[in-house]
């Protein structure tokens, strides 16, 4: 592998409070203070941003068992094209990643076929059934970086409390998909005006907020990090804001579709607008964005959830939840948060994608400090481009953003000094 | 094949452009009126000794009922017969949906068999739109989940107009399980567009406040609307297992929302009593009231035929224009 000089870029490395025009050196796959001594590749980054490799902590890669939707190979290529050098894969596979053998299989398989770093998460409960604790410690030894029943939600508060308490022993964050099953029932979309009009069963905000509130109480009780995934409700932001002000170790995550779209889009009955939690009302979008601005929402994630066309192309209430998101998330967040609403600046956006996930999950990533792994994302924050799903690297095509005009994207993704993708 | 020659009494409808009827929400007022006027013309056909016109001769209609129905399916079938169309009935239990075939594949097969019109009843909201987005055939929504049941609403407003001469300014109460009712939604759109004042009545769990955003009033108690209503449309109330959390039992429902004899006595003599059927005698409606002079429940059934003839005729004519 060749050493690198990345010249004249705007180096933004929030982990070192760095934001300056500078050259960045990569020697032996690590960030170096000194330029390479011998032969090297030079990358001109004039007018571009040079950032630590971005991290998406919420990705469904579908292996093992659902490789017709996605594989480590295709999913990691989509991640690279989206600007991500590290991703965390969710355990709701078939079989679920609820034991050390499956975790080892994932790690080995990812190493053999993936073009970016893949960090596995393990299930909280066996079979993701919310009843019996999974062998969390053994999975930690096998390499998990978090536990979550994502796609599912532990309903029994006692089971959740003990799992959270147990996770503390390993300094492990618990990631939670916040959904009260009884309140959601067969709900497939936000409960509100549009569910009333369309006659589709409602999934009320309260069903998310009630679990966010539960997680706040448990994080406080167990003094353990609980991370609330893909927030959809403005009420969840208000709960987290209050809890964080009191010093409780809870965090919240935002997925781009929850601010790019609202429930009105479902009037098309297009299943590419069906996700869990659902698209909500315009006032939720406003509060979610405020939450990013005021520091309540500190992580961003795609909830990349690929499904095959034949699975999505069915009656609305029978279609699976979820959309592909790795290749559009950075463009959407740059467009909406940085350019359109100016909710945050570019530096802050990079913090949310690097320092914050690395801190939450204790990953040795998200920094351009000397000696760090040379994971680098080069971003053109002003590049205007159009997303075409038929050009996607993902094995699936279930995205509502086909044809969207976006401003800003990654133009090169480097993992351990090697360019894994460039425009 | 030669175009069937319209007989001189077939309505001329140059301004109808929809090949599909998916719901009332997207219809213009003029389109609703055109259906009603066309239905009025067809109603005379049903009263004749020879109940057939050649309007859809040579056309194939598939009556695709993926959810049980007697009245609506029969009504569409008879409507098609009276227009001289060929009709095939498919139900969920006799179709390959049972074998795991997707709706899309079933529909593509029907199209490959040159079905001109597909009448779809389906438990999933949006299923008719799903077909309409993919097929050239005319798609007629015969009820999709809790979304819409457009021909029911059309026959309801047809019946009101026939009996009271107008829709505009009338006070119409819809009583019962509104939340899960496609009939209620389609009626709200049709009545609002035609200028009626709509009040919804039912347990607060089954009449959520979100309906007010559709431009209707929500009443807490049936007694609040008895004296002023020009029309009361009673919906079938179900108390199956999945509804248990919405109200405690049928007795309590009747106590607050049943149209009992005592309540019936408070109605204006001109007030119409309607029900889309099938009725539960003694639950949402007292048996004598269902059979009484103010009841137009059977007129609704008769009018349903004329309205469905009009819809089949208009949409298949538009489909011909599109092709």
Domains, in order of start, for chain A = 3-48+380-394+396-422 (2.30.40.10), 53-365 (3.20.20.140)
CB A194 within 8 A of CB A266: yes
The 3-class SS string of chain A reads CCEEEEEEEEEEEHHHCEEEEEEEEEECCEEECCCCCCCEEEEECCCCEEEECEEEEEECCCCCCCCCCCCHHHHHHHHHHHCEEEEEECCCCCCCCCCHHHHHHHHHHHHHHCCCEEEECECCEHHHCCCCECCHHHHHHHCCCEEECCCCCCCCHHHHHHHHHHHHCCCCEEEECCCCHHHHCCCCEECCHHHHHHCCCEECHHHHHHHHHHHHHHHHHHCCCEEECCCCCHHHHHHHHHHHHCCCCEEEEECCHHHHCCHHHHHHCCHHHCCCCCCCCHHHHHHHHHHHHCCCEEEECCCECCCCHHHHCCCHHHCCCCCCCCCCHHHHHHHHHHHHCCCCCHHHHHHHHCHHHHHHHCCCCCCCCCCCECCEEEEEEEEEEECCHHHCCCCCCCCCCCCCEEEEEEEEEEECCEEEEEC
* DSSP-derived pairing of the beta strands B272-274 and B231-234: parallel
A contact test, residue of B101, B125, B130, B187 with most A CBs within 10 A: B125
Of residues A301, A293, A355, the one with CA closest to residue A330: A301
Structure tokens at A188: 């497939």
* Helix or strand run (H / E) with residue B165: none
pLDDT, average across residues A214-225? 98
The verdict on B6 touching A (C-beta cutoff 8 Å) is: no
* ipTM (interface pTM): 0.93
The minimum CA-CA distance between B153 and chain A, rounded to whole Å, is 15
- What pLDDT does B7 receive? 53
- What pLDDT does A349 receive? 98
The pLDDT tens digits for A168-178 are 999 999 999 99
Distance CA A105, CA A89 (A): 13
The pLDDT tens digits for A301-324 are 999 999 999 999 999 999 999 999
CB A19 within 8 A of CB A11: yes
Of residues B183, B188, B220, the one with CA closest to residue B201: B220
Of residues B69, B65, B110, B127, the one with CA closest to residue B91: B65
- What pLDDT does A183 receive? 97
- What pLDDT does B12 receive? 72
8 Å CB contact of B148 and A199: yes
A contact test, residue of B64, B101, B104, B126 with most A CBs within 10 A: B126
Helix ranges restricted to H, B8-136: 29-46, 71-82, 103-112, 127-132
Of residues B199, B145, B25, B131, the one with CA closest to residue A199: B145
Structure tokens at A141: 């030894």
The residue of chain B nearest to residue A191, with distances taken between CA atoms, is B210
Edge-to-edge strand list for the sheet holding B217-219: B217-219, B197-201, B171-175, B231-234, B272-274
Cα pseudo-dihedral A260, A264, A270, A276, rounded to 10 = 60
The verdict on B148 touching A (C-beta cutoff 8 Å) is: yes
Chain centre to alpha carbon of residue A190? 22
Of residues A254, A406, A270, A265, the one with CA closest to residue A327: A406
Distance CA A382, CA A104 (A): 41
Chain B residues with beta carbon closer than 8 angstroms to that of A316: 124-127, 130
Q: Which residues pair with A31 in a beta bridge?
A: A26
Percent of chain A exceeding pLDDT 70 equals 100
Distance CA A146, CA A287 (A): 28
Q: Which residues pair with A4 in a beta bridge?
A: A26, A41
Distance CA B24, CA B187 (A): 8
Among A303, A373, A375, A380, which one carries the catalytic annotation?
A303
Structure tokens at A167: 């996770």
Distance CA A398, CA A303 (A): 13
| Torsion-angle region of B202 (φ positive above 0: left; ψ -120 to 50: alpha; else: beta) | left
Taking the CA atoms of B256, B260, B261 and B263 in sequence, report the sign of the dihedral they define: positive
The minimum CA-CA distance between B124 and chain A, rounded to whole Å, is 6
Of residues B53, B35, B54, the one with CA closest to residue B44: B53
Question: Can you spell out the DSSP letters for B171-188?
Answer: EEEEES--TT-HHHHHHH
Structure tokens at A151: 């796609």
Distance CA A401, CA A336 (A): 14
| Nearest by CB: A199 against B130, B182, B213 | B182
The residue of chain A nearest to residue B127, with distances taken between CA atoms, is A315
pLDDT band with cut points at 50, 70 and 90 for residue A236: very high
The verdict on B149 touching A (C-beta cutoff 8 Å) is: no
The pLDDT tens digits for A70-94 are 999 999 999 999 999 999 999 999 9
Distance CA B218, CA B197 (A): 11
The residue of chain B nearest to residue A198, with distances taken between CA atoms, is B147
8 Å CB contact of B129 and A318: no
* Helix or strand run (H / E) with residue B242: none
**Treating both helix axes as pointing N-terminal to C-terminal, what angle do B297-322 and B71-82 enclose, rounded to 10 degrees?**
50
Chain B residues with beta carbon closer than 8 angstroms to that of A191: 210
Chain B residues with beta carbon closer than 8 angstroms to that of A313: 102, 104
Q: Is B62 helix (H, G, I), strand (E, B) or coil?
A: strand
* DSSP-derived pairing of the beta strands B60-65 and B86-91: parallel
The verdict on B15 touching A (C-beta cutoff 8 Å) is: no
Q: Is B140 helix (H, G, I), strand (E, B) or coil?
A: strand
- Please enumerate in sequence order all residues whose Cβ is within 8 A of that of B282, keeping only pairs 6 or more positions apart, or say none: B254
- What pLDDT does B15 receive? 81
Chain A residues with beta carbon closer than 8 angstroms to that of B122: 315
| Torsion-angle region of A329 (φ positive above 0: left; ψ -120 to 50: alpha; else: beta) | alpha
Low-confidence ranges of chain B (pLDDT < 70): 1-9, 95-96, 240-243, 321-323
CB B71 within 8 A of CB B79: no
Distance CA B1, CA B67 (A): 35
| Nearest by CB: B130 against A193, A310, A315 | A315
pLDDT, average across residues A40-49? 97
**Count of residues making up chain A:** 423
The minimum CA-CA distance between A230 and chain B, rounded to whole Å, is 25
Distance CA B107, CA B113 (A): 10
CB A366 within 8 A of CB A52: yes
Higher-confidence residue of B320 and A4: namely A4
* Helix or strand run (H / E) with residue B295: none
A contact test, residue of B64, B185, B210 with most A CBs within 10 A: B210
Q: Is B30 helix (H, G, I), strand (E, B) or coil?
A: helix
- What pLDDT does B322 receive? 60
Of residues B143, B174, B191, B156, the one with CA closest to residue B306: B156
Of residues A34, A8, A30, A35, the one with CA closest to residue A21: A8
8 Å CB contact of B103 and A314: yes
Distance CA A319, CA A321 (A): 7
- Please enumerate in sequence order all residues whose Cβ is within 8 A of that of A219, keeping only pairs 6 or more positions apart, or say none: A164, A225, A226, A243, A248, A249, A250
Percent of chain B exceeding pLDDT 90 equals 77
The pLDDT tens digits for A365-376 are 999 999 999 999
The pLDDT tens digits for A123-137 are 999 999 999 999 999
């Amino acid at each position: 592998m060749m050493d690198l000089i990345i010249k004249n870029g705007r180096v933004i490395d929030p982990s070192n409070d760095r934001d300056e025009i500078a050259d960045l050196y990569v020697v032996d796959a690590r960030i170096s203070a000194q330029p390479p001594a011998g032969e090297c590749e030079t990358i001109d980054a004039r007018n571009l941003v040079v950032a630590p490799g971005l991290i998406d902590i919420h990705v469904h890669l579908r292996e093992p068992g659902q490789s017709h939707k996605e594989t480590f190979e295709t999913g990691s290529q989509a991640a690279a094209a989206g600007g991500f050098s590290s991703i965390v894969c969710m355990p709701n596979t078939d079989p679920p990643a609820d034991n050390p053998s499956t975790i080892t299989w994932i790690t080995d398989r990812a190493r053999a076929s993936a073009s970016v770093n893949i960090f596995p998460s393990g299930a909280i409960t066996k079979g993701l059934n919310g009843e019996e604790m999974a062998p969390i410690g053994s999975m930690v030894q096998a390499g998990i970086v978090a536990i979550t029943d994502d796609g599912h939600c532990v309903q029994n508060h006692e089971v959740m409390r003990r799992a959270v308490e147990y996770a503390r022993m390993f300094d492990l964050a618990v990631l939670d998909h916040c959904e009260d099953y009884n309140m959601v029932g067969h709900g497939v979309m936000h409960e509100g005006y549009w569910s009333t009009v369309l006659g589709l069963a409602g999934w009320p905000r309260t069903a998310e907020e009630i679990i966010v509130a539960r997680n706040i109480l448990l994080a406080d009780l167990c003094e353990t990090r609980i991370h609330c995934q893909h927030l959809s409700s403005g009420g969840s932001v208000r709960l987290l804001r209050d809890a964080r002000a009191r010093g409780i170790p809870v965090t919240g995550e935002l997925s781009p579709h929850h601010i790019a779209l609202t429930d009105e889009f479902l009037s098309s009955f297009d299943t590419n607008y069906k996700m869990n939690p659902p698209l909500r009302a315009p006032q939720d979008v406003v509060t979610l964005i405020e939450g990013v601005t005021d520091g309540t929402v500190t992580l961003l994630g795609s909830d990349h959830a690929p499904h095959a066309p034949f699975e999505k192309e069915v009656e609305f209430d029978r279609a699976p939840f979820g959309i592909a998101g790795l290749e559009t998330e950075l463009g959407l967040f740059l467009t909406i948060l940085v350019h359109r609403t100016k909710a945050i600046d570019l530096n802050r956006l990079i913090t949310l994608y690097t320092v914050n996930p690395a801190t939450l999950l204790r990953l040795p990533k998200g920094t351009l400090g000397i000696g760090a792994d040379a994971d680098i994302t080069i971003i053109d924050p002003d590049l205007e481009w159009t997303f075409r799903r038929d050009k996607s690297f993902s094995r699936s095509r279930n995205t509502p953003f086909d044809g969207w005009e976006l401003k800003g994207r990654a133009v090169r993704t480097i993992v351990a000094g090697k360019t894994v993708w460039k425009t | 094949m030669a175009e069937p020659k319209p007989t001189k009494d077939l309505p001329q409808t140059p301004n109808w452009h929809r090949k599909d009827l998916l719901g009332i929400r997207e219809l213009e007022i003029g389109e609703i009126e055109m259906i009603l006027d066309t239905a009025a013309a067809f109603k005379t056909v049903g009263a004749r000794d020879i109940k057939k016109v050649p309007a859809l001769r040579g056309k194939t209609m598939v009556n695709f009922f993926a959810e049980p129905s007697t009245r609506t399916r029969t009504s569409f079938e008879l409507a098609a017969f009276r227009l001289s169309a060929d009709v095939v009935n498919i139900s969920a239990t006799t179709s390959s949906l049972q074998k795991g075939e997707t709706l899309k594949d079933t529909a593509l097969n029907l199209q490959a068999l040159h079905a001109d019109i597909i009448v779809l009843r389906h438990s999933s909201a949006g299923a008719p739109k799903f077909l309409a987005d993919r097929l050239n055939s005319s798609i007629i929504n015969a009820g999709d989940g809790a979304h819409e049941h457009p021909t029911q609403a059309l026959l309801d407003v047809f019946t009101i107009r026939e009996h009271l001469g107008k829709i505009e300014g009338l006070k119409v109460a819809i009583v019962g399980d509104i939340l899960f009712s496609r009939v209620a939604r389609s009626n709200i759109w049709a009545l609002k567009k035609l200028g009626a004042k709509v009040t919804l009545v039912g347990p607060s769990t089954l009449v959520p406040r979100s309906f007010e955003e559709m431009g209707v009033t929500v009443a807490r108690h049936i007694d609040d609307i008895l004296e002023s209503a020009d029309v009361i449309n009673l919906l079938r109330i179900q108390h199956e297992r999945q509804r248990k959390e919405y109200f405690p039992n049928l007795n309590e429902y009747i106590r607050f929302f049943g149209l009992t004899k005592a309540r019936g006595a408070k109605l204006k003599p001109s007030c119409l009593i309607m029900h889309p059927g099938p009725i539960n005698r003694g639950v949402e409606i007292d048996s004598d009231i269902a059979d009484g002079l103010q009841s137009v429940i059977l007129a609704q059934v008769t009018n349903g035929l004329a309205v469905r003839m009009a819809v089949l005729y208009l949409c298949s004519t538009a489909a011909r224009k599109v092709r």
